[in-house]
């Protein structure tokens, strides 16, 4: 048992890394999407085994040589979902006559945290379609804040911003609130020109609500009052995430990685959030992730094997 495998299962691409026990990368490969809540556990399981077989063939090794495999994937934040995916993997393995020494399924946020700080203390704020903050304290205990999904959570995220933008447009069409430049932006970008087309797009065309977030940010950059108010509210929600995590970690100086294009890239929203962050937490240190999420999965694989 000389090797470890870490896998980052994304919504569009899955990345895999094989390392030795000193976590030196020996082989890397990638495949298609592996969000099992969208693609289904069977399809994702087959995709994972394609990557594992790639590792076996390239190194001319067997599954018995792999000490531990960790798959971090979107949709595995809940224990029952993670167990469902793991069961499918193990069932497929049994069908193929394969036996793992150790196989674990966890969330993509968890492996991103491991990779960001190479397993040391720190926290990652992930803000893309959804939002969640994960942290590891000095004792190695993992904490989380947020990540409740679009129905009751995801504050500060692309989904939440996009949803508020669409609600503002609906009110504007009705004359229930201030006129907003979002009306023109939605028409130009998505052909939403009135109440009927808004309803049709959102409820009949499987509309991508987070795709409206960049329009809200564009509106704010153009000093649109409605858009400015939305981003003010949403950035405060992210500050609440950080405040709660700081209390859990009990640290004087917070080391924080920002993950997700909406807060990683330079735009009005990311600047607004970072300015608020500095005021609320003067000692915060914003860092770039040290390693990729798949490498973080390999770190976690080593931790789990060495327990």
For 125-182, what is each residue's pLDDT tens digit? Answer: 988 888 889 898 888 888 989 988 778 878 999 999 999 999 999 999 888 877 888 9
Q: What is the pTM of this model?
A: 0.81
Is the pLDDT at 206 greater than 90? The verdict is: no
Is the pLDDT at 26 greater than 90? The verdict is: yes
Is the pLDDT at 276 greater than 90? The verdict is: yes
Predicted local distance difference test score (pLDDT) of residue 81: 80
Predicted local distance difference test score (pLDDT) of residue 232: 97
Domain boundaries, the chain: 3-118+290-305, 158-287
* Cα 250 from Cα 89, distance rounded (Å): 38
CATH superfamily entry for domain 3-118+290-305: ATPase, nucleotide binding domain (3.30.420.40)
Q: Which of 130, 164, 163 minimizes the C-alpha distance to 149?
A: 130
Predicted local distance difference test score (pLDDT) of residue 118: 82
Is the pLDDT at 76 greater than 80? The verdict is: no
Is the pLDDT at 38 greater than 70? The verdict is: no
* Cα 208 from Cα 260, distance rounded (Å): 17
Q: Do domains 3-118+290-305 and 158-287 have the same CATH topology?
A: yes
- What is the third-level CATH fold of 158-287? Nucleotidyltransferase; domain 5 (3.30.420)
Most confident of 116-130, 141-155, 236-250: 236-250
Predicted local distance difference test score (pLDDT) of residue 13: 81
Predicted local distance difference test score (pLDDT) of residue 264: 86
pLDDT band of residue 306 (cuts 50, 70, 90) is low
Average confidence (pLDDT) over 72-89: 81
Q: In this predicted structure, which of 76-85, 155-164, 289-298 has the lowest mean pLDDT?
A: 76-85
Residue 284 and residue 277 in contact, taking contact as beta carbons nearer than 8 Å: yes
Is the pLDDT at 247 greater than 70? The verdict is: yes
- Quick one: what percent of the chain has pLDDT higher than 90? 42
How many Cβ atoms sit within 10 Å of the Cβ of residue 163? 19
Report phi then psi at 157, rounded to 5: -90, 175
Q: Which of 195, 177, 175 minimizes the C-alpha distance to 186?
A: 195
Per the prediction, the chain carries an average pLDDT of 88
């Amino acid at each position: 048992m000389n090797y470890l495998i870490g896998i980052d299962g994304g919504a569009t691409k899955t990345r895999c890394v094989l390392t030795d026990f000193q976590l030196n990368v020996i082989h890397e490969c990638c495949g298609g999407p592996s969000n099992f809540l969208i693609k289904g556990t069977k399809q994702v399981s087959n995709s994972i085994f394609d990557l594992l077989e790639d590792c076996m063939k390239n190194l001319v090794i067997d599954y018995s040589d792999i000490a531990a495999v960790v798959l971090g994937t979107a949709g595995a934040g809940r224990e029952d979902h993670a167990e469902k995916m793991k069961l499918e993997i193990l069932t497929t393995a049994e069908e193929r006559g394969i036996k793992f020494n150790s196989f674990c399924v966890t969330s993509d946020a968890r492996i991103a945290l491991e990779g960001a700080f190479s397993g040391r203390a720190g926290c990652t704020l992930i803000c893309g379609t959804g939002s969640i903050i994960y942290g590891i304290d000095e004792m190695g205990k993992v904490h989380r804040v947020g990540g409740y999904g679009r129905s009751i959570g995801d504050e500060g995220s692309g989904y939440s911003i996009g949803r508020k933008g669409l609600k503002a447009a609906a009110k504007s069409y009705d004359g229930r609130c201030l006129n907003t430049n979002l009306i023109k932006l939605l028409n130009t970008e998505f052909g939403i020109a009135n109440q009927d087309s808004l309803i049709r797009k959102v409820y009949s065309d499987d509309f991508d609500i987070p795709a409206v977030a960049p329009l809200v940010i564009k509106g704010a950059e153009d000093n649109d009052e409605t858009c400015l108010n939305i981003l003010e509210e949403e950035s405060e929600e992210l500050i609440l995430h950080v405040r709660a995590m700081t209390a859990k970690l009990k640290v004087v100086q917070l080391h924080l990685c920002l993950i997700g294009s909406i807060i990683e890239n330079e735009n009005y929203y990311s600047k607004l959030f970072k300015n608020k962050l500095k005021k609320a937490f003067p000692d915060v240190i914003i860092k770039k992730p040290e390693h990729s999420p798949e490498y973080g999965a390999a770190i976690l694989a080593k931790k789990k094997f060495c327990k």
